[in-house]
Structure 1
Amino acid sequence: MERLQKVIAKAGIASRRKSEVLIQEGKVTVNGQTVTELGTKVGPNDRIEVNGIPVEREEPVYFLFYKPTGVISAASDDKGRTVVTDYFPMIKERIFPVGRLDYNTSGAILLTNDGEFANLMMHPKHKIEKVYIAKVKGTPTKETIRKLEKGVHLEDGKTAPAKVKVLSADRAKNTAILELTIHEGRNRQVRRMLEQVGHPVEKLKRERYSFLELKGLTTGEFRPLTPKEVKQLRALAVT
């Protein structure tokens, strides 16, 4: 038996908190009866509907995917462009990406059908770290690195502090390779941060998602997460 709001969240319909609101507003039925009590528990054979639409429950699945560049981080695209779920034709569950990597960025992204897990990973308060490798124009000075580490003012507010390392610099080509660790997930955040400090990105890859690395995967490949890895990610999100 599981709490009703948890089942709704796992189905990817809404976050746990939004699911609670839907229940309290009388928009959820169990076996044809409207339920407004948040403590209600349901079993696998109970029929749940939200706004009259049946909730389809699946076994939760979790994948680490090495997203290529030129692929959209979405479950579908109305313009017919390639999306991350196109790489999972054999997976019967209705999976979706956890957050996003922009079109021209490659690297680690999670996909799941567990809405509650996805919300845990994406909420900035949980501070799940993401590590990026960026090839940029120019070589940042120590002062520029400090600016990035303290937070950069963007049009949607100041970024949280980042960890930044200069891995290498090519004086002849006037480029550098940086490693940046952030825990926010704003749209095109790393690119905008580096552009703001005068070092536009030429190439960008998300090297690591929390402790999950791309070792053993090439672009376009994926692997399922182990139960231990899922448990570790959940533990990181609630600490």
Structure 2
Amino acid sequence: MRLQKYMAKCGVASRRKSEEIILSGRVKVNGKTISELGTTIIPENDIVSVDEKIIKLEETKVYIMLNKPTGYVTTLKDEFNRKKVIDLIKGIDERVYPVGRLDYDTSGLLILTNDGDLTYKLTHPSYEIVKTYLAKVEGVPNEGELVRFRNGLKIEDYITSKAEINILKEYKNSSLLEIKIHEGRNRQVRKMCASVNHPVLELKRISFGGINMGNLKQGCWRFLTKNEIDFLKKL
């Protein structure tokens, strides 16, 4: 089995993130540091460690939905010692990690699991998994700005894919938008809104791949139902 796939199945991180961890020299196989991709192992015979901790295949798959508050990072480690979403998950023995990410100042639905294969599927661009956000922005977009948003925007060195955007409410100096995208670039929704001159004031994700957060309270989590898990696996 490829080393990065084994790490994902052990619940360390997604396969792509595991490759980054390998390249950074944090992984050892039978005591030897591995810093290049392409290594294969025999799970029954080889001893793999990450950051000097031996990892083993997870026996039980865990699937969790969290309503992330603002002020938390979705990384498992943070150089600035900020609060981490994993600190909100109490009472389970398995090591889980976030599927994708939500910005420090963005709240809402975050899925966590130790199922590396499902994580790969939900985060790889080729699967085009739709995420739905509620964004409170400055001002009210006009029709021309909405059309630009829907058709794709040039941001930095890339052009976004087509997206959905609708105005839900209009206020005196702001508006509430529903936005649906299937990409997951860093701070993408915020950058898209800024690109049409309506900076985000508040941002919350309410749906991931058709799984809705419902009335789950902020800072709380629950296990996904069997129907929800099966639905995600069939996407």
Question: Shorter-chain TM-score: what band?
Answer: 0.7 to 0.9
Stretches of structure 2 lacking an aligned partner (at least 5 in a row)? 20-33
Q: Normalising by structure 2, what TM-score?
A: 0.82
Residue of structure 2 equivalent to 1:82 = 83
User: Residue 41 of structure 1 corresponds to which residue in structure 2?
Assistant: none
From the superposition, tell whether residues 174 and 57 of structure 1 become closer, same or farther in structure 2 (CA, over 3 Å): same
| Structure 1 unmatched runs, 5+ | 33-47
**What residue is the counterpart of 2:196 in the other structure?**
197
Shift of 1:51: 7.7
For 1:178, the equivalent position in structure 2 comes to 177
Tell whether 2:57 aligns with 1:61. no
* Alpha-carbon distance in 2 for matches of 1:134, 1:26: 44
Paired-residue identity, %: 38
Conserved? CA contact 2:67–2:218, under 8 Å: yes
Correspondence for 2:161:
160
- Are the counterparts in 2 of residues 27 and 51 from structure 1 also a CA contact under 8 Å? no
Cα distance in structure 1, aligned partners of 2:194 and 2:95: 36
Name 1:213's counterpart in structure 2: 212
**Distance apart, 1:221 and its partner CA:** 0.5
Q: Match for residue 101 of structure 1?
A: 102
Shift of 1:10: 2.1
SS at match of 2:42: strand
Counterpart contact for 2:139–2:175, Cα < 8 Å? yes
Aligned to 1:136: 137
Asked whether the equivalents of residues 160 and 184 of structure 1 are also in contact (C-alpha less than 8 Å), the reply is yes
Matched to 1:57, the amino acid is L
**Which residue in the other structure is 1:35 paired with?**
none
User: Any idea what SS the aligned residue of 1:29 has?
Assistant: coil
Give yes or no for contact 1:94–1:113 (8 Å, CA) kept in 2. yes
Amino acid at match of 1:106: S
Distance in structure 1 (CA, Å) of the matches to 2:108 and 2:142: 27
Q: Find the residue that maps to 1:194 and give its secondary structure.
A: helix
Residues 165 and 180 in structure 2, CA contact (< 8 A), matched pair in contact too: yes
Supply the AA of the counterpart residue of 1:164: I
Contact preservation (8 Å) 2:6, 2:43: no
Q: Which of the residues 19, 23, 40 maps onto 1:27?
A: 40
Letter in structure 1 aligned against 2:108:
G
RMSD: 2.3
CA distance in structure 1 between the aligned counterparts of 2:77 and 2:207, rounded to whole angstroms: 25
Q: Is the 8 A contact 1:138 1:174 kept in 2?
A: yes
Assess, with a 3 A threshold, how the Cα gap between structure 1 residues 10 and 227 changes in structure 2: closer, same or farther.
farther
In 1, the alpha carbon distance for the partners of 2:43 and 2:93 equals: 25
Please give the alpha-carbon distance, in whole angstroms, between the structure 1 residues aligned to 2:193 and 2:115: 33
Letter in 1 for 2:173: N
With over 3 angstroms needed to count, the CA separation of the structure-2 counterparts of 1:30 and 1:194, relative to structure 1, is closer
Query: Offset of 1:25 from its aligned partner?
Result: 4.3
CA shift at 1:31, angstroms? 3.6
Larger mean CA deviation between 183-192 and 223-232 belongs to 223-232
